[in-house]
């Protein structure tokens, strides 16, 4: 059997599971309409869930981008202080961040695609629901038992196929969202572990060493300046000596 025939059979099986037929065809119509409304709520919730996951990824990407920029700056400082070891560590952490950012970008694109597919599914279903409501009322108004079953079956089989399709889209989006949440959670843990932090986090030794380096440079410069000043007047002035000598004389 061809692929499209097999998929058609599979979709029909899914669809008939989604909608049970009642004894009174008019009940089947109402029931189908209810199920469509439920699915519409479901697909809209799906869109919102995907959007939430997408925003979480964006937040993580922003944090990582900031850390990456800071690490680059720290590497520069380290090079300026001739601390190649520190620069190397900063750059290697930055490389880890760049890798994560690339992964995030891929995931973000996938979620984006998922979101637009689901939004389209939601719009299609919305249009079908509205048409179905009109059709349902028409069938009911002109209800004659003889014709009803055929008309109802026609309308319902088309609608259940649509619901089968939308149902699959929802399922795919749910799977993707769950997968993304797991990844985002793992990345949160990685970030919390400090492995991707920039180096100014409290207790981080690199920034501390860079700061100490700056401090040492400052102290050395100060020392040189003082030495130079003192070097002009050859002998050091005896600061405390005079008053000490003076005191006993006064006492005499």
Partner 1 sequence: MIVRILGDGQYELPENMEPEFERLDNHLIAHVEDGDEEAFRRELAELIGIVQQGSEVPDDDFRPSDAVLPSPNASLADVQELLSEEQANP
Residue 198 region, left (φ>0) first, then alpha (ψ -120 to 50), else beta?
beta
- Least distance from C-beta 38 to partner 1, angstroms? 18
Continuous H helices in the chain:
3-18, 25-80, 84-141, 145-192, 205-232, 241-251
Determine if 106 is a binding residue for partner 1 (CB under 8 A).
no
Name the residue nearer to partner 1 (CB basis): 83 or 136.
136
Tokens 């025939």 belong to residue: 5
Tokens 């769950």 belong to residue: 178
C-alpha–C-alpha distance, residues 30 and 18, integer Å:
14
C-alpha–C-alpha distance, residues 163 and 171, integer Å:
12
Determine if 117 is a binding residue for partner 1 (CB under 8 A).
yes
C-alpha–C-alpha distance, residues 86 and 73, integer Å:
12
Closest C-alpha among 170, 189, 168 to residue 178? 170
- Least distance from C-beta 22 to partner 1, angstroms? 18
Name the residue nearer to partner 1 (CB basis): 15 or 61.
15
By CB under 8 A, name the one of 22, 52, 158, 190 that touches partner 1: 158
Tokens 């097999």 belong to residue: 6
Would you give the binding string for partner 1 spanning residues 60-99, x where CB under 8 A is met?
A: ----------------------------------------
By CB under 8 A, name the one of 66, 82, 120, 147 that touches partner 1: 120
Determine if 20 is a binding residue for partner 1 (CB under 8 A).
no
Name the residue nearer to partner 1 (CB basis): 96 or 158.
158
Q: What does 151-173 look like in DSSP terms, one character per residue?
A: HHHHHHHHHHHHHHHHHHHHHHH
Closest C-alpha among 142, 146, 155, 129 to residue 28? 155
Query: Taking a C-beta distance cutoff of 8 angstroms, is the pair 78, 84 a contact?
Result: yes
Stretch that binds partner 1, among 12-20, 41-49, 226-234, 237-245 (CB under 8 A): 12-20
Determine if 127 is a binding residue for partner 1 (CB under 8 A).
yes
Name the residue nearer to partner 1 (CB basis): 69 or 127.
127
Chain positions 129 to 148 lying near partner 1, rule: CB under 8 A, are 130-132, 134-135
Name the residue nearer to partner 1 (CB basis): 22 or 168.
168
C-alpha–C-alpha distance, residues 111 and 61, integer Å:
14
Stretch that binds partner 1, among 57-65, 160-168, 198-206, 214-222 (CB under 8 A): 160-168
By CB under 8 A, name the one of 58, 109, 154, 245 that touches partner 1: 154
Closest C-alpha among 5, 31, 27, 8 to residue 18? 31
Q: Which residues bind partner 1 (CB under 8 A)?
A: 1-14, 113, 117, 120-121, 124, 127-128, 130-132, 134-135, 154-159, 161, 165, 168-169
């Amino acid at each position: 059997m061809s692929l499209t025939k097999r998929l058609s059979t599979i979709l029909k099986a899914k669809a008939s599971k989604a909608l049970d037929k009642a004894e009174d065809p008019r009940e089947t119509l109402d029931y189908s309409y209810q199920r469509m409304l439920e699915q519409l709520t479901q697909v809209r919730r799906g869109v919102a869930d995907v959007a939430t996951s997408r925003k979480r990824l964006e937040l993580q990407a922003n944090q990582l981008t900031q850390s990456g920029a800071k690490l680059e700056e720290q590497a520069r400082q380290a090079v300026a202080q001739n601390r190649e070891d520190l620069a190397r560590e900063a750059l290697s952490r930055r490389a880890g961040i760049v890798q994560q950012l690339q992964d995030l970008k891929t995931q973000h694109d996938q979620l984006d695609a998922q979101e637009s597919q689901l939004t389209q599914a939601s719009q299609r279903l919305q249009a079908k629901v509205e048409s179905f409501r009109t059709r349902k009322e028409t069938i009911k108004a002109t209800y004659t038992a003889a014709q009803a079953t055929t008309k109802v079956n026609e309308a319902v089989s088309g609608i259940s196929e649509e619901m089968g399709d939308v149902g699959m889209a929802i399922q795919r989006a749910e799977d993707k969202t769950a997968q993304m949440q797991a990844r985002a959670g793992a990345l949160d843990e990685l970030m919390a572990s400090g492995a991707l932090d920039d180096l100014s986090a409290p207790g981080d030794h690199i920034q501390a060493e860079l700061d100490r380096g700056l401090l040492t440079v400052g102290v050395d410069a100060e020392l040189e300046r003082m030495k130079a000043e003192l070097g002009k007047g050859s002998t050091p002035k005896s600061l405390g000596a005079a008053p000490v000598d003076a005191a006993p004389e006064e006492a005499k």
